[in-house]
Structure 1
């Protein structure tokens, strides 16, 4: 995509990292939201970076995008310790160059197995940071892992490590408790008022993609220099 009618500059493809549960949840609305997000990302030529599992909401987003845009549109990154847990029968006997069992690429896209959680999170973030306009992070419903990744990404934004949007896809009010906590943290002086909107929210997939496209970086972020990192 060129930056102008007479420009030869090609913008990088947008990439979104989706944090979400390895469970489908009890409410069918969660699985439906994961499918809708995948369809809209594919429609808008947005690549997915995710945790590499094939089960739950994470697997649903990945296979939905691959079914429309092909395996090159998805990159799963998973620590070797989780491979045997966040998988289904699509792993079968297929292994990568290091002998790790990985899911079928034609169903879930490319998978990279890494040594630990820190490497996984760094690689996912780096791909998003290097992505084109509209890149960012979206959190569907999930558990401890989803929340930990979400808040770390928001903290990195606050510290100036990255400037990409972080959006809660707040299905069925799942994240209402978190948004209320942010308001309380601001009221009690633990979060600067200007940083309250580092985490934006939407109630459907279309709104989440729009929120990332229109994301505004907070002027209250810490002006730290991370150039040596």
Structure 2
């Protein structure tokens, strides 16, 4: 069962109101289902929209933001918890540790980097948590096609592409999270098992 969901999304709102509407709906849905939202801690763009909607619906919201971005991304002042960390590496690590699963909403390079890092960590067995793309109006269609190409060309094992979730509704994603079974990591054991083996 997933209790805390990390959401990666744009610090801009995008050019289509569907992105705003989706972010609002995601925040409300997470709150209504009793999920804690973990996100980048800003109040700009879709980041701020999803945090505000979750808070307005009575949800718990945890933000994680680096010192250098507190002013640039306008750290949200009204969160349940705000963790200010040293750098982006600490931000992503802490968000991963606080979360049971990860969702990418529409966004740019930062959003992609964040979700791909978590998906890579899952493949390596650093964690065994599900990753998902909320494919709003086909936003991620071409990316998903490319990911499947990496399997066709022998660079990504099919068990990892098959368990990467891509849905056009947050409800469908949350349902899949609840029945998710992690694939065997790339090297056949989790990081934790490897540490025990070499202790």
Contiguous gaps of at least 5 residues in structure 2: none
Q: Does 1:15 align with 2:4?
A: yes
CA positional deviation for 1:223: 2.1
Residue-by-residue CA offset, 1:131-181 (whole Å, 9 max, x unaligned): xxxx31000001111000010000000001111110100001111111101
Match of 1:216 in 2: 181
Match of 2:96 in 1: 125
What is the CA–CA distance in structure 1 between the aligned matches of 2:41 and 2:19, rounded to whole Å? 19
Contiguous gaps of at least 5 residues in structure 1: 1-10, 88-101, 129-134
Match of 2:171 in 1: 206
Q: Does 1:83 align with 2:70?
A: yes
Q: Which protein shows a greater Rg?
A: 1
What is the CA–CA distance in structure 2 between the aligned matches of 1:171 and 1:112, rounded to whole Å? 29
Q: How does 1:45-84 map to 2 (within 5 A)?
A: 45-69=34-58, 73-84=60-71
Residue-by-residue CA offset, 1:36-62 (whole Å, 9 max, x unaligned): 111111111000110001011111111
What is the CA–CA distance in structure 2 between the aligned matches of 1:62 and 1:202, rounded to whole Å? 21
Match of 1:111 in 2: 82
Which one of the candidate residues 99, 115, 133 is aligned to 1:150? 115
CA positional deviation for 1:220: 6.0
CA positional deviation for 1:225: 4.4
Q: Does the 8 Å contact 2:19/2:106 carry over to 1? A: yes
What is the CA–CA distance in structure 1 between the aligned matches of 2:12 and 2:151, rounded to whole Å? 32
What is the CA–CA distance in structure 2 between the aligned matches of 1:196 and 1:150, rounded to whole Å? 14
Q: Does the 8 Å contact 1:49/1:124 carry over to 2? A: yes
TM-score with structure 2 setting the length: 0.91
Q: Does the 8 Å contact 1:167/1:211 carry over to 2? A: no
What is the CA–CA distance in structure 2 between the aligned matches of 1:220 and 1:114, rounded to whole Å? 29
Cα RMSD for the two superposed structures: 1.8
TM-score with structure 1 setting the length: 0.80
What is the CA–CA distance in structure 2 between the aligned matches of 1:178 and 1:16, rounded to whole Å? 22
